[in-house]
Structure 1
Amino acid sequence: MEKLLQSVRISINDKLYVKDPESSNLGKRIIKESIIMIHEIGFESFTFKKLGTEIGSNESSIYRYFENKHKLLLYLASWYWGWLEYQLVFATNSIPDPSAKLDRAIEIMTRATEIDTAFTHIDEVMLNKIVINEYSKSYLTKEVDQENKDGYFVIYKRLVNRMSTMMTDVNPSYPYPSSLASSLLEGALHQYFLMDHFNSLTNCTAKNTPTEYFKHLVFHALKD
């Protein structure tokens, strides 16, 4: 089983990179160190020049993999959503009962992130923090419609669709499954942000987790 998990590869839209970073040791170092750097200094302060200095390589070598830092952020976000999708499919595939399957899916989508040893060059905990703090910057742009047409957000949309289908399986007459599914994914990020920065604005804590909140929210909505 461990060997099977180690063979998993998250497939990313090839329009997001010039050269696949998974294809070389330098590419993997770019991904690894960019996650650490963006986590530490924020996306606005992050530059390829700073990253090149950190990895001991020319700035130009990074441009051989990514056209700009916006594409890199889109790549990191896509990898994160793809990683969640593979966990979701793996954890729910053998659950026949729709309610139990959805319950498990909500847990996967909203639980605190832990390191996944199957991907040694990526710190999933740091990447989760980046998605929480920076993900909206990947789509709140003038180019979002064209980027959507180019398939930059296909993994995220596919993940929302999987959750929406599970909700419909629980209650086929519920009229807002896609809205509820997208609210779940975005809301989970927001609740963790509030816990870190504005804890007076949320009832979620380490004990009263976002997972419990969203299970309550989703199943009560589907029951009505």
Structure 2
Amino acid sequence: MNHGSDDRVWREILEFWFPEGRSLQIDTAVHKNHWYWRMRGGADSEITTRFSKLTAEAAAGHLDHWASDPDGRLALIIVLDQFSRSVWRNSARAFAQDPAALALALEGLSNGHYLALPTPWFRIVHGLPLGHCEGADHLDRLDLLIELRKEIAVQAPGHLQPIYQSLVKQAHDVRTVIAAFGRHPHRNQLLGRPSTAAEETYVAQRQFPHLRVFEG
């Protein structure tokens, strides 16, 4: 792709994933509904229809050059971290792109791309791989994610701050899970790994942080 066509695809992804656009005057209820749509699989069907081929290209590393631009990097994180979960839902492949998405997120934090993002919701999505990707440093990354989300919540417009405080709480809740189990137990069956008795109890309760966000 040339830069012009790359830019067009980035815009298509960002406009799809962020229907609120870039205006900080978004209505609170509308914004919360957008978060529910993003975080609870409401976009699965349209992602699969519109972006399956693109997601496969990104997973194969063919779109890595997007990371030279802050918007391109964010678009690629969305594809690898979010679209993968829709396109390959209920399979191990849904999580196979997590290390690549994490590398993009960490590099964006160090090279200024994260700070170049203009809205709280852009920055939240940029940081998602820090909590999603399993690994030995997971707790340290969650500590970083919590601090980033605290900054986002403080800087968000006043009428939106309760939403972003809830996302701080969600990151704390994820940290509690990882501290207890060292991984995301709800993935065990799909990834073909045995669960401990404690993990089986946790999964049976279905109190997963990503399903409880915004509930106080």
- TM-score past 0.5 threshold: no
TM range, smaller chain:
0.3 to 0.5
Structure with greater proportional helix content: 2
Normalised by the length of structure 1, the TM-score is 0.35
